[in-house]
Structure 1
């Protein structure tokens, strides 16, 4: 964590995200009023007051978790870890009746086992409560109320309260999903990375359970990322301010608006169509997103401008002829039906994407789960690229 300047107000906070989304998350945080914003590997460090902590949990689309460090110190062995964790005034942070859970990550440290680090942290917290209150809080992985994060790197230990609880990608709108659905935070990050100006169609012709079009609708209509969630972990902290939290939600509700262009979701699979329909209805967006049960080539552009964004199957083996033909077909449809649009495709198999037969304008490395992927942009000019360039000049 970066050194702090003396005049900076507020508290240290850390936002976790996926690799490749650090920049867009930093921009989101700054737009919400965060100061001293600095990116790291899969994290963004920043400072802010308590209302900002609530805001970023509720509004940030590309954050996975928001952590509030409560202790930073050096540890070289298990006794040092236990003793220093025990010095933190845990009873001032949460009530003994709250169930808590500890997660730990360890890198390049003399303490090598994350499970053991979590166990020693739990012991120190529980022992401190017993000494101060005569009672021990329950440790539970099932429906905990207090989430504690331990991060040790090169013997530097950061203990944080996780203000989010469940990962922020769990928006609350998805009630149906097929195998390995696109993560909501990744989908929101893809939309931000595309630079979508919210002028024209947004089309996902292979929508699966509907994550991309739902995230696009929420972005376009300024529906908060956490709008459908029922709870955040900071609501169980001792210093929680219900009135401040209510003000944050009311202010955000006042920003929700309409979107005048079509958002189109389609899938040739009736099963995927059914799941997308369930999720759209659960989100109350079934009247705002046009949902179709059609193959890609039957999806028609409406406004004549906008973007397509989708996550086609990509397989593992390049020798799969069906896969190659699929990507050739994607290229043919893009060239013949969507001139004037931008297409953004995420794939975990960049080699098969070459069969689209279009020159990429941009490639961005992202991770879809553990799979290194590419978000690829194709600009679908009306006429030749040379003619378009001459007109722009």
Structure 2
């Protein structure tokens, strides 16, 4: 099978960990950009990337690049592609656009010109034309224009890969699955200790933590990928790729625990974990983090997404001070990480973070912070280690 270039889209701040994921999966010529990582692989690797990558939002397959300065040169460039390789007149398609150009600044206009060029080619050659279907198209076409460089790609994923397929119930401020997985990988979570999410909401961080710990492919619960409707879809190859990924799953010998104060959140989290077939690894119970303490011996890995005050009515200063007090007094020998978009509230935690990483939760600029809780003082730990 021949190799070709692909582009994986991701969230800001995850480029390096996505590049690492791709390298570990076996990709060639891995190169980081801004919110994207390009790589080379064959069709089987494209299937594998969609199934296994935790921090990718989409996998695009570029099929043509050309220069365009106006609507005519855009139309002509798209007409030069032989669309019968990817579509028939009886199939449907949709065009999505990303523009960073002075020549083109209206995405709907670019989508319309692209559609016209494709439809006209079929009408000239067959007398018939494929139709647009925005909801369930047979082919998703992506047009990326950077200044005067146009890249036409096929979207192999379809719906964003953060939609893993296990989440049916969400809370008031749910966290995106790709954001959760990326945070876990940035935190160094690898399944070699106990894990806790003390404010687990609908259970996303717990599910992603279990899949990382057991090396379960991230998108194993997805109903479909866009490439399944492509003309060169190979279901036997897909099954082989799936089987090879399953052979690489591993056993997990620790505990993964979630707490939430709200009974409704606990019920939703349990439903989602059951949907993901991960309930044998994860236990969830109703509890107020501030009234809990560390229940396990040895190191503990903690990652959570506390309220920011954006959509929840709580007294931030007191709340974040209680986070700091609880971690300090009740959770010794713990690597604690959390994300917040309330940068002011961080001051009230009362602890100095050992790391601070800029991320975005949706459109909100956030910080992903690490606090190291030692048993005894730092000085004692240093003396023991040395």
Contact 2:292 2:330 (8 Å CA) reproduced:
no
Q: How does 1:319-330 map to 2 (within 5 A)?
A: 322-330=315-323
Task: Determine whether 1:308 maps to 2:302.
Answer: yes
Correspondences of 1:11-160 after superposition (within 5 Å):
11-160=4-153
Alpha-carbon offset, residue 256 of structure 1: 2.5
SS across alignment from 1:367 = strand
Match of 1:226 in 2: 219
Structure 1 position 387, deviation (Å): 2.2
| Cα distance in 1 for residues equivalent to 2:233 and 2:281 | 35
Deviations 1:77-98 (A, max 9, x none): 0011111101111111133333
Question: 1:174 maps to which residue?
Answer: 167
Residue number in structure 1 paired with 2:182: 189
Paired residues for 1:184-333 under 5 Å? 184-296=177-289, 297-298=291-292, 300-315=294-309, 322-333=315-326
CA distance in 2, matches of 1:245, 1:96: 26
Q: Is the 8 A contact 2:8 2:36 kept in 1?
A: yes
Deviation at 1:113, TM superposition (A): 0.8
Residue 11 to residue 309, structure 1, CA distance change in 2 (3 Å): same
In 1: Cα distance, 2:379 partner to 2:314 partner: 33
8 A contact 2:293–2:331 mirrored in 1? no
Does the Cα contact within 8 Å between 1:145 and 1:165 map onto a contact in 2? no
User: TM-score, normalising length from structure 1?
Assistant: 0.94
**Range 100-109 or range 55-64, more displaced:** 100-109
Query: RMSD in angstroms over aligned alpha carbons?
Result: 1.5
Number of aligned residue pairs = 383
CA displacement, residues 201-240 of structure 1 (integer Å, 9 cap, x when unaligned) = 1100100000000000111111111100111111111122
Q: How far, CA to CA, are the matches of 1:263 and 1:119 in structure 2? A: 49
Question: Could you tell me how far apart the structure 2 residues matched to 1:219 and 1:321 are?
Answer: 32
In structure 2, the partner of 1:5 is none
TM-score normalised by L of structure 2: 0.96
Residues 377-388 of structure 1: pairs in structure 2 closer than 5 A: 377-388=370-381
Residue 266 of structure 2 aligns to a residue whose secondary structure is helix
CA deviation after TM superposition for structure 1 residue 270, in Å? 0.8
Separation (CA, whole Å) in 2 of partners of 1:343 and 1:241: 44
Q: CA deviation at 1:386?
A: 2.1
Change (3 A) 1:12 1:289: same
Which of 60-69 and 301-310 deviates more? 301-310
**Structure 1 residue 321: deviation in Å?**
7.7
1:354 aligns with 2:347: yes
Q: Write the deviation string for residues 295-337 of structure 1: whole angstroms up to 9, x where unpaired.
A: 10225432431211100011259xx982111111111111112
Deviations 1:91-128 (A, max 9, x none): 11133333211111111331221110011111111111
Q: Which residue of 2 aligns with 1:371?
A: 364
Point out where structure 2 has 5 or more consecutive residues left out of the alignment: none
Q: Which runs of 5+ in 1 are unaligned?
A: 1-8
Q: Is the 8 A contact 2:355 2:371 kept in 1?
A: yes
Deviation at 1:179, TM superposition (A): 2.6
Show CA shifts across 1:60-91 (max 9, x none): 00000000001101000001111110111111
Bigger mean CA offset, 40-49 vs 303-312: 303-312
- Distance in 1, matches of 2:172 and 2:9, equals 24
When structure 1 is superposed on structure 2, of 185-194 and 90-99 the one drifting more is 90-99
Shift of 1:145: 2.5
